[in-house]
Structure formats: C-alpha cells, structure tokens
Amino acid sequence: MRKALLFPTMLAGLLAFAAPALAQAPLPGLDAPASDGRSPGDASSAQQVELIARPALVISGTSEWEEGFGTLMKSFGSLRTVMDRAGLKPGGRPLAVFIETDDQGFRYQAMIPLDEPPAKALNLSAPITLGQTPAGKTMKFEHRNAYDDIDSTYEAITAYLDEKGIDAKPMFMEEYVSEPKTSDDLSLQVDIFVFIK
C-alpha cells in the first residue's frame, strides 16, 4: 500500500498528536448502504462530515505497507481483548488513524470508540491507552471492495481533492464499516475520512 504517494503532504513531517487528545462521536450517515455499483477508485461518494470527539481505547504503532492489513486487524483484536476484560462496550466501529506515512510504511493509532467514558480508572499497559477519536472537518469517501484494492480509491480521492481545490491535513482515517478476515475480501466496506484545513 502506498498511501504516502497519494497524499504527498503527509510526508512533510511527524504530526504532533498525543493519543489522549484523540476522539470521535456518532456521525450522521455512517450507516451508508453497501456498494451501489461504484467501482473501486470512485470518489463520487464524497461528502463533508464534521467529526466530534468520543472516548476510545487506543493502540499506537508502526507498520510497513505490506503488513499493514494484518497489523491493523491484530491491533483491533488486542483492543477488543482489553475491552472484554474491562467490561467496556464499543460505541462505534474500529478506526485506523494514519498519522505519518512514507514509501515504506506508516505510523498509526488503531481505536475502538467506547459507548461512554469508563466509570473507574482502567489498569492499561502500553501500548494501549485511553484516548479520544479525532475531531474536525473532514471529507468522507467510501471504499467498497477488497482492502488490496484500496489504493485505487485513494488515487481517486487525491484527484477529487485536487480538482476541487481542497487542502488536506497530513492525517486521514479509515472506519471499518465491515471487517474482513482477509485483505482480498470483496465484501469489505471502509469509510475514509480526509481531514481538511
């Protein structure tokens, strides 16, 4: 996966982004229907969405692109294990926030929003922390195909942003409307949020 090539501004440097400052809330329109016949690489689903902060369990890490899918799925599994042990309920779908990217890989924060802040202090160990999902103005796009084909959607997003003259921040987020078992699962549904200036 070469998202770094699709969003050149993300190479500008490390985004100073602490996990405890991250967060998201219920968003209108997140229950969009599955693919309506659009092919991968189609940015016609674009819509502006304002994200609000929500409490979340967060795990931070790095990965090379070739292992990216497996790394993210493993991170979500780790978060679910901690949530189950702590008796926490999910308040949204799994999220992957891409904080820094280059040709070889990326730095990320995998998150699962919580239905409410924990009533008591959690005994968490690194790399899992309690944080928040990102907030702010975004453009939301849909990817409805295998994760292996997501680059074509990012290429279409980049072309759309260029055509519309929209300045993107060096951060983007994937929300997994459905979670595949494998990277070639054609039933995958991912919503992509590009944070805009």
pTM of the model: 0.80
Nearest Cα neighbor of 3 from 66, 47, 72, 59 is 66
* Cross-strand bridge partners of residue 112: 57
Residue 181's pLDDT band (cuts 50, 70, 90):
confident
Burial class (CB in 10 A: 0-12, 13-18, 19+), 61: middle
One-letter amino acid at 176 equals Y
Question: Domain extents for the chain?
Answer: 3-8+44-117+124-196
CB 2 within 8 A of CB 157: no
Three-class SS of residue 149? helix
Query: How far is Cα 44 from Cα 37, in angstroms, rounded to an integer?
Result: 11
Q: Which CATH homologous superfamily contains domain 3-8+44-117+124-196? A: Regulatory factor, effector binding domain (3.20.80.10)
Burial class (CB in 10 A: 0-12, 13-18, 19+), 88: buried
Query: How far is Cα 196 from Cα 165, in angstroms, rounded to an integer?
Result: 11
Query: How far is Cα 77 from Cα 83, in angstroms, rounded to an integer?
Result: 10
Residue 41's pLDDT band (cuts 50, 70, 90):
low
Rounded to whole angstroms, what are the CA distances from 94 to 10, 48, 87, 140, 160?
22, 20, 17, 16, 26
pLDDT tens, residue by residue, 130-152: 999 999 999 999 999 999 999 99
Q: Is the pLDDT of residue 25 over 60?
A: no
pLDDT tens, residue by residue, 55-112: 999 999 999 999 999 999 999 999 999 999 889 999 999 999 999 999 999 999 999 9
More confident residue, 102 or 10: 102
